[in-house]
Structure 1
Amino acid sequence: MLLCRVSAVSQTLTRWGRRSHRGGGLLHRALSFSSSRCHVVSPGEVSAKPAEAGSAPGLYRDTVLLPRSEFPMRLTGQKLLDRELQIQQECGFADLYSWQRERKAKKEFCLHDGPPYANGDPHVGHALNKILKDIRNRFEMLRGRQVHYIPGWDCHGLPIELKALGELGTSGLSPMQIRQKARQFAEGAIARQKAAFQRWGLMADWDQCYYTYDGAYEAAQLKVFQEMHASVVRFDPVSVPCRTALAEAELEYNPEHVSRAIYATFPLSTLPPEMASEAGLESGVSVLVWTTQPWTIPANQAVCYIYTAAISLHTRLRAVVFNCSQLEGGICKHPTIPDKEVPLLPANHVTMAKGTGLVHTAPAHGMEDYSVASQFKLPVECMVDEDGKFTDLAGPELQHLCVMTEGTDKVISMLAECGALLKEEQCVHSYPYDWRTKQPVVIRPSKQWFINTASLKDKAKEALQKVRVLPESARGSLLTMLDRRTYWCISRQRSWGVPIPVFYHRETGEALINKHTVSHLAELFKEKGSDCWWELPIETLLPDQVLKNVSSKAGPVTDYVRGEDVLDIWFDSGASWAAVLEGTADAYVEGKDQIGGWFQSSLLTSVAVRNKAPYKSLVVHGFAVSEKGEKMSKSLGNVVDPDVVINGGKDPSVPAYGADVLRWWVAESNVFSEVQIGPTALNSARDSIGKLRNTLKFLLGNLQGFDPRVQAVDPKEMHYIDQYMLHQLREYSIKVTDAYSEFDAGRAIRVLQAFITRDLSSFYFSIIKDRLYCDPEDSLGRRSCQTVLEEILDGVTRSIAPILPHLAEEVYLHAPGHDGGETLFKSGWIKSSSVWRRPGLEEAVEGACAIRDSFLSSIPGKNAAQYDLTIAIEPGLLFELMESLQEEATSTSSQLAELMTVARVNLASGLPRDLPPDAPLSHGTFLINLEGEERLSHIAAVPTSAARCPRCRRYTADSADCLCPRCQTIVSQAH
Structure 2
Amino acid sequence: MRWGLRPRGPGEAALAAAWNLWVPPRLPCRPRWRGTTGSLLVRSVTGASNQPQNSSNGSYRDTVLLPQTSFPMKLLGRQQPDTELEIQQKCGFSELYSWQRERKVKAEFCLHDGPPYANGDPHVGHALNKILKDIANRYHMMRGSKIHFVPGWDCHGLPIEIKVLSELGGKAQNLSAMEIREKARSFAKAAIEKQKLSFIRWGIMADWNNCYYTFDGRYEAKQLRIFYQMYDKGLIYRSYKPVFWSPSSRTALAEAELEYNPEHISRSVYVKFPLLKPSPKLASLLDGSSPVSFLVWTTQPWTIPANQAVCYMPESKYAVVKCSSSGDLYILGADKVTSVASTLGTTFEVISTFSGVDLENGSCAHPLISERESPLLPANHVTMTKGTGLVHTAPAHGMEDYSVAAQHNLSMDCLVNEDGVFTDAAGPELQNKAVLKEGTDAVIMMLQAAKNLLKEEKLVHSYPYDWRTKKPVVIRASKQWFVNITDIKTTAKELLKKVKFIPGSALNAMVEMMDRRPYWCISRQRVWGVPIPVFHHKTKDEVLINSQTIEHIIQLVEKHGSDIWWTLPPEQLLPKEVLSQVGGPDALEYVPGQDILDIWFDSGTSWSNVLPGTDQRADLYLEGKDQLGGWFQSSLLTSVAARNKSPFKTVVVHGFTLGEKGEKMSKSLGNIIDPDVVINGGQDHSKEPPYGADVLRWWVAESNVFTEVTISPSLLNAARDDISKLRNTLRFLLGNVAGFNPETDSIPVNSMYVIDQYMLHLLQDLANKINDSYKQYDFGKVVRLLQAFYTRELSNFYFSIIKDRLYCENADDPKRRSCQTALAEILDVMVRSFAPILPHLAEEVFQHIPYIKGSGFLRILSIWTRLKKFFFHLLLMSSEENSFAPANLPCDLKAFIFLFSKGPSKMLQAEETSSTSQLNELMMASQTTLLSQEPRGINEDVTELKGTFLINLEGGDIREESSYKVIVMPTTKEKCPRCWKYTAESSDTLCPRCAEVVKGK
Considering the TM-score relative to the shorter chain, is it more than 0.5?
Answer: yes
In structure 2, relative to structure 1, the CA distance for the partners of 1:667 and 1:836 (3 Å cut) is farther
Matched, 1:873 2:896: no
Matched, 1:319 2:329: yes
2:600 to 570, 579, 584: 570
Q: Which runs of 5+ in 1 are unaligned?
A: 1-19, 820-826
> Distance between the aligned counterparts of 1:735 and 1:347, measured in 2?
55
> Distance between the aligned counterparts of 2:861 and 2:578, measured in 1?
72
Q: 1:689 Cα shift?
A: 0.5
1:240 matched residue in structure 2: 245
- SS in structure 1 at match of 2:251: coil
Matched, 1:887 2:887: no
Greater mean deviation of Cα atoms: 363-372 or 309-318: 309-318
What is the letter of the counterpart of residue 742 of structure 2? P
1:5 matched residue in structure 2: none
> Distance between the aligned counterparts of 1:478 and 1:417, measured in 2?
47
2:609 to 571, 576, 579: 579
Alpha-carbon displacement from aligned partner over 1:857-903 (angstroms, at most 9, x marks no partner): 5554xx521122222234xxx22xx2221122222211111221212
1:394 to 426, 432, 438: 426
2:992 matched residue in structure 1: 965
Are 1:47 and 1:953, in contact at CA under 8 Å, matched by a contact in 2?
no
Matched, 1:623 2:638: no
1:363 matched residue in structure 2: 395
1:612 matched residue in structure 2: 645
Q: 1:807 Cα shift?
A: 0.8
Q: 1:676 Cα shift?
A: 1.2
Are 1:34 and 1:850, in contact at CA under 8 Å, matched by a contact in 2?
no
- SS in structure 1 at match of 2:645: coil
1:118 matched residue in structure 2: 118
1:906 matched residue in structure 2: 929
2:12 matched residue in structure 1: none
2:3 matched residue in structure 1: none
1:3 matched residue in structure 2: none
Q: Give the alignment of 1:512-911 within 5 angstroms.
A: 512-550=544-582, 558-582=588-612, 583-652=616-685, 653-818=687-852, 831-835=857-861, 838-850=864-876, 857-858=887-888, 860=890, 864-874=892-902, 878-879=903-904, 882-911=905-934
Q: Give the alignment of 1:299-310 within 5 angstroms.
A: 299-305=306-312, 309-310=317-318
What is the letter of the counterpart of residue 319 of structure 1? L
Q: 1:109 Cα shift?
A: 0.9
> Distance between the aligned counterparts of 1:492 and 1:545, measured in 2?
30
2:129 matched residue in structure 1: 129
Are 2:269 and 2:298, in contact at CA under 8 Å, matched by a contact in 1?
yes
1:262 matched residue in structure 2: 269
1:4 matched residue in structure 2: none
- SS in structure 2 at match of 1:772: helix
Greater mean deviation of Cα atoms: 367-376 or 72-81: 367-376
Are 1:730 and 1:832, in contact at CA under 8 Å, matched by a contact in 2?
no
Matched, 1:441 2:443: no
Are 1:903 and 1:954, in contact at CA under 8 Å, matched by a contact in 2?
yes
Are 1:150 and 1:204, in contact at CA under 8 Å, matched by a contact in 2?
yes
> Distance between the aligned counterparts of 1:96 and 1:457, measured in 2?
41
> Distance between the aligned counterparts of 1:190 and 1:46, measured in 2?
48
> Distance between the aligned counterparts of 1:557 and 1:713, measured in 2?
91
**How many residue pairs are counted as aligned between the two chains?**
931
- SS in structure 1 at match of 2:482: strand
In structure 2, relative to structure 1, the CA distance for the partners of 1:447 and 1:905 (3 Å cut) is same
Are 2:655 and 2:708, in contact at CA under 8 Å, matched by a contact in 1?
yes
Q: 1:302 Cα shift?
A: 3.5
2:258 matched residue in structure 1: 251
Are 2:691 and 2:720, in contact at CA under 8 Å, matched by a contact in 1?
yes
> Distance between the aligned counterparts of 2:950 and 2:292, measured in 1?
94
2:543 matched residue in structure 1: 511
- SS in structure 2 at match of 1:245: strand
> Distance between the aligned counterparts of 2:44 and 2:913, measured in 1?
22
What is the letter of the counterpart of residue 94 of structure 1? S
> Distance between the aligned counterparts of 1:303 and 1:47, measured in 2?
87
Are 1:723 and 1:836, in contact at CA under 8 Å, matched by a contact in 2?
no
Alpha-carbon displacement from aligned partner over 1:802-829 (angstroms, at most 9, x marks no partner): 111111100100002239xxxxxxx98x
In structure 2, relative to structure 1, the CA distance for the partners of 1:707 and 1:836 (3 Å cut) is farther
Q: 1:661 Cα shift?
A: 0.5
> Distance between the aligned counterparts of 2:964 and 2:272, measured in 1?
96
In structure 2, relative to structure 1, the CA distance for the partners of 1:35 and 1:342 (3 Å cut) is same
Alpha-carbon displacement from aligned partner over 1:612-645 (angstroms, at most 9, x marks no partner): 2111111111111111111111111111111111
What is the letter of the counterpart of residue 500 of structure 1? I
Are 2:35 and 2:949, in contact at CA under 8 Å, matched by a contact in 1?
no
1:9 matched residue in structure 2: none
- Higher helix residue share: 1
Greater mean deviation of Cα atoms: 479-488 or 846-855: 846-855
Q: 1:30 Cα shift?
A: 5.5
In structure 2, relative to structure 1, the CA distance for the partners of 1:772 and 1:366 (3 Å cut) is same
1:952 matched residue in structure 2: 979
Are 1:733 and 1:832, in contact at CA under 8 Å, matched by a contact in 2?
no
Q: 1:838 Cα shift?
A: 2.4
1:22 matched residue in structure 2: 28
Are 1:37 and 1:762, in contact at CA under 8 Å, matched by a contact in 2?
no
> Distance between the aligned counterparts of 2:278 and 2:508, measured in 1?
50
Greater mean deviation of Cα atoms: 355-364 or 898-907: 355-364
Greater mean deviation of Cα atoms: 350-359 or 237-246: 350-359
What is the letter of the counterpart of residue 180 of structure 2? I
1:226 to 225, 228, 234: 228
- SS in structure 2 at match of 1:810: helix
Alpha-carbon displacement from aligned partner over 1:753-801 (angstroms, at most 9, x marks no partner): 1111222112221122112111112222222222222221122112111
> Distance between the aligned counterparts of 1:945 and 1:575, measured in 2?
82
In structure 2, relative to structure 1, the CA distance for the partners of 1:858 and 1:168 (3 Å cut) is closer
In structure 2, relative to structure 1, the CA distance for the partners of 1:151 and 1:911 (3 Å cut) is same
> Distance between the aligned counterparts of 1:82 and 1:337, measured in 2?
75
User: Superposition RMSD on alpha carbons, in Å?
Assistant: 3.1
Are 1:361 and 1:369, in contact at CA under 8 Å, matched by a contact in 2?
yes
> Distance between the aligned counterparts of 1:832 and 1:950, measured in 2?
38
Matched, 1:293 2:300: yes
What is the letter of the counterpart of residue 734 of structure 1? N
1:465 matched residue in structure 2: 497
Are 1:309 and 1:357, in contact at CA under 8 Å, matched by a contact in 2?
no
Are 2:235 and 2:641, in contact at CA under 8 Å, matched by a contact in 1?
no
What is the letter of the counterpart of residue 650 of structure 1? Q
What is the letter of the counterpart of residue 914 of structure 2? S
Alpha-carbon displacement from aligned partner over 1:501-522 (angstroms, at most 9, x marks no partner): 1111111121112333333322
Matched, 1:77 2:77: yes
- SS in structure 2 at match of 1:379: coil
Are 1:699 and 1:790, in contact at CA under 8 Å, matched by a contact in 2?
yes
> Distance between the aligned counterparts of 2:411 and 2:950, measured in 1?
88
- SS in structure 1 at match of 2:174: coil
The alignment-based identity, stated in percent, is 56
Are 1:286 and 1:314, in contact at CA under 8 Å, matched by a contact in 2?
no
2:190 matched residue in structure 1: 188
Alpha-carbon displacement from aligned partner over 1:374-422 (angstroms, at most 9, x marks no partner): 2232322222111101122223332221111111112222333344434
Q: 1:248 Cα shift?
A: 2.2
In structure 2, relative to structure 1, the CA distance for the partners of 1:69 and 1:419 (3 Å cut) is same
> Distance between the aligned counterparts of 1:277 and 1:841, measured in 2?
95
TM-score, normalising length from structure 1?
0.89
Q: 1:205 Cα shift?
A: 0.7
- SS in structure 2 at match of 1:218: helix
What is the letter of the counterpart of residue 240 of structure 1? W
What is the letter of the counterpart of residue 99 of structure 2? W
